[in-house]
Structure 1
Amino acid sequence: MAALSLSRKKNASRNAAVERKNLITVCRFSVKTLIDRSCFETIDDSAPEFLNFASILEQILSHRLKGQLTWFGYESPRSFWDYIRVACSKVSHSCICSIENMENVSSSRAKGRAWIRVALMEKRLSEYITSALRDYKTTRRFYDDGAIVLGEEANMLAGMLLGLNAIDFSFCLKGEGLDGSYPAVIDYTPYLKFTQSSDSISSDEEELRTLGSSGSESSTPENIGPSFIMDENTWYNKCKRVEQKYRLALEQKGYLEELVRLREGQLSDSVTQNKLLLQRIKDTELNHKLEKEQLEYIIVELQDQLKSFHRFGHLSADASLSQISFDPGHSQDGSAKHDSSRLSGGKEDTPSLLGLCGSLTSVASYKSLTSLKSSECLASPTTEMTSPGLTPS
């Protein structure tokens, strides 16, 4: 068991060393591509070379970064900006305070990405990294053993970044590149391209042709001669070179297949999120439609209630006016005057007029207009004259 644990530790340390070396190598390639690109155009957020460089630098500064311990003993993730903010606080005329006070940048990762862009525009990225690495106490406090910033690769990193001072960068600090919600992904595809001369291609083809036809040619006795007899070392070297090239092509094929699988996974996640967003939009539209129908129904009900209220108020006002105009005192005076006018003029009141006057004296008969046509509201002249309210004085 002890030997197994020791071998595991050796494998882990070897893998960590390979990871550090690969990151530094890829960073050197990215700096070279940036310098080559700057000879033709200005570098901004739209340049894929810069996006790849920013992702590489972010992973280098985040390599084996310690988490932050909470009050409950849990370790929460931390961004490299927390280290840069403390380690570069003593740099004169630094941009740390201005980035810390930016309103449109809230997360720690977004502030770190903004710092990379501002430092490149100031042509002081190498100075910031060098100053941070000199503060070994702070660096040791933020990083675990085996980190790039704690090894010999850190000095190489500061020297590589010095060549970026010759490039004029132009960035906008309000774009999607500052969004701290997505991780930094390195694209290794541009660094897999390699050129091969025609001489090496012809030599490879010749080696493959020789290896393929060696068995058939050696079996014929007429082809055996001093010019075709090769020693064992030459055959071994040729086979070794072909095997190395085959392994290299196989590794590149495996990487490209892994990259395709990664892109397919990202595409499937995007399709799933798109479906969820479309379903959420449909549900929202349906809820808005139901709320609109409910509001329209409530408005119609309120309009009906308002119309009935106005009608009831109008009828109440008319009923009060009818009661005031047809009270007993007024009716007696009116009947006396009417009798005197009838006596003087010789005109008679018709039964329908008397029935109308009788129906207006009550609110219930006033509300129903059909009572005006009924025979109950019509009275004869003899009954009208004998009624108490219409008795002549």
Structure 2
Amino acid sequence: MASLSLSRKKNASRNAAVERKNLITVCRFSVKTLIDRSCFETIDDYAPEFVNFAYILEHILSHRLKGHITWFGYESPRSFWDYIQVACSKVSHSCICSIENMEHVSSSRAKGRAWIRLALMEKRLSEYVTAALRDFKTTRRFYEDGAIVLGEEANMLAGMLLGLNAIDFSFCLKGEGLDGNFPAVIDYTPYLKFTQSSDSISSDEEELRTLGSSGSESSTPENIGPPFIMDENSWYNKCKRVEQKYRLALEQKGYVEELVRLREAQLSESVSQNKRLLQRIEDTEINHKMEKKQLEYIIVELQDQLKSFQSFSQLSADGSLSQISFAPGHFQDGNGKHDGSNLSEGKENTPSLLGLCGSLTSVASYKSLTSLKSSEYLASPTTEMTSPGLTPS
């Protein structure tokens, strides 16, 4: 009985090791197929490569996951989301809270599937898995011995998921893939044509080896004749694959060169526009300086004109006062009031008289005028007739 139980334990441990190895190998193959598929089209919820990868990752994270012990001692099944929720809670700017607040996602398995899709769109799936594996106490609390996340395969898993950051995913978080009642079934048929030799080979050679013909699955050592034909077909397929990759790289190279030429043309145009703008700014500054100088000169001239106008107005005011004071028609009566009504009685003030009165603004001119009136009279017929001693004939 002891030997039987010991052999069962050995078989169980061997089977667990084989299961871990197979899951990691299939996960690596699924990552490769995802990267190859992303070169030709966008990966969405309906891509079979992604569906298979999501199921494989779900199996890996659920491998030997402990159940939840209730108060009554019963063990209820758990989902890997319970582990991710606790282990990734310290990740900065994580999507854990966003998934918890989703109304249409209720079950724990559905939240885990939504987390896989959202982490892929954020290109942080490897970061989340690495942070969860570093929390060793939480990992030991949620998983049993022999789990993938507790073994050496865990480091390989984080490294494989790092390559998915180069892919742009587009998922709908309300799709049918989030149904928690739908089981995760892995489809191994796309990976049956992958073969792995015992020798250490490069990644390119391994990828070329995996892309053999469809009949390579049936090739066995017992077949002696057909292997030559299979080799020809496999080499033909390899050449086609390499040619396809070369054409793809050539197209990408042409696209990048065209993009570089476009950016160079845009850069040169921007530089020329910048030069034109700088020249325009310099011209505007020169014009502003000239206009400023002209305005300053005009202001100085206006100030001079204003000063001369003020002096002229003051002089004209003084002249008007002197004209009123020394006008010959003005005199004072007995009360000291001026009366200028008897200058020329019965005659109108013509412009010539006004000009004459305006010119007599000094005392000397006034005295000369009065002396002229008093002493130097011209002889006239009326004076001769009216003088005493003379009688008209």
The TM-score normalised by the length of structure 1 is 0.51
Counterpart in the other structure of 2:7? 7
Report what 1:98 is aligned to: 98
CA distance in 1, matches of 2:131, 2:72: 34
Moved over 4 A (4+): 196-205
**Which residue in 2 is equivalent to 1:189?**
189
What is the CA–CA distance in structure 2 between the aligned matches of 1:198 and 1:2, rounded to whole Å? 47
Report the equivalent of 1:236: none
Please state whether the residue corresponding to 1:114 is helix, strand or coil: helix
CA distance in 2, matches of 1:201, 1:193: 11
**Residues in 2 aligned to 1:68 and 1:50: alpha-carbon distance in whole angstroms:** 30
Count of matched residue pairs = 209
Match of 1:175 in 2: 175
Query: Corresponding residue for 1:159?
Result: 159
Q: Distance in 2 between matches of 1:125 and 1:101?
A: 20
Q: Which has the larger radius of gyration?
A: 2
Task: Quote the offset at 1:198 in angstroms.
Answer: 11
**Structure 2 residue 34 is matched with structure 1 residue 34:** yes
Shift of 1:208: 8.6
1:101-120 CA-to-partner distances (Å, cap 9, x unmatched) read: 11110000000000000000
Q: How far, CA to CA, are the matches of 1:88 and 1:203 in structure 2?
A: 49
The structure carrying a bigger helix percent of its residues is 1
Post-superposition offset of 1:69: 0.5
Task: Quote the Cα distance in structure 2 between the aligned partners of 1:54 and 1:197.
Answer: 25
Could you tell me how far 1:183 is from its partner in structure 2?
Answer: 1.2
Cα deviations across residues 206-230 of structure 1 (Å, max 9, x unaligned)?
A: 3699xxxxxxxxxxxxxxxxxxxxx
- Tell me the distance in 2 between the aligned counterparts of 1:202 and 1:136: 45
Question: Which residues of 2 match residues 108-123 of structure 1 at below 5 A?
Answer: 108-123=108-123
Question: In structure 1, the residue corresponding to 2:21 is in which secondary structure?
Answer: helix
What's the secondary structure of 1:206's corresponding residue? coil
The share of aligned pairs that are identical, in percent, is: 86
User: Would you say the 8 A contact 2:110–2:180 is kept in 1?
Assistant: yes
Cα distance in 1 for residues equivalent to 2:222 and 2:169 = 43
Q: What corresponds to 1:309 in structure 2?
A: none
Matched, 1:87 2:87: yes
Cα offsets for 1:38-59 (capped at 9, x unmatched)? 0000000010000000000000
Q: Under a length normalisation based on structure 2, what TM-score does the superposition of the two structures give?
A: 0.51
Residue type of the alignment partner of 1:123? K
Does the C-alpha gap of structure 1 residues 5 and 202 become closer, same or farther in structure 2, counting only changes over 3 Å? closer
Cα distance change of structure 1 residues 98 and 5 upon mapping to structure 2, 3 Å threshold: same
Q: 1:203 to 1:70 in 2, by over 3 A?
A: closer
Gapped regions of structure 1 (runs ≥ 5):
210-393
Question: For residues 206 and 183 of structure 1, do their structure 2 counterparts lie closer, same or farther at Cα, with a shift above 3 Å needed?
Answer: closer
How far apart in 2 are the matches of 1:93 and 1:142? 24
Q: Report the CA distance between 1:188 and its aligned residue.
A: 0.3
- Rate the CA distance shift 1:136–1:196 in 2: closer, same or farther, 3 A: same
Query: How far is 1:193 from its partner?
Result: 2.5
Distance 1:164 1:60 in 2: 17
Whole-Å separation in 2 of the counterparts to 1:204 and 1:69: 54
Q: CA RMSD in A?
A: 2.3
Tell me the equivalent position of 1:242.
Answer: none
Name the CA shift for 1:33/1:73 in 2 (closer, same or farther; >3 Å). Answer: same
Cα offset for 1:204? 6.3
**Residue aligning to 1:385:** none
Show the counterpart of 1:76: 76
> Aligned residue for 1:338?
none
TM-superposed CA distance for 1:202, in Å, is 12
Deviations 1:3-50 (A, max 9, x none): 111111000000000000000000000000000000000000010000
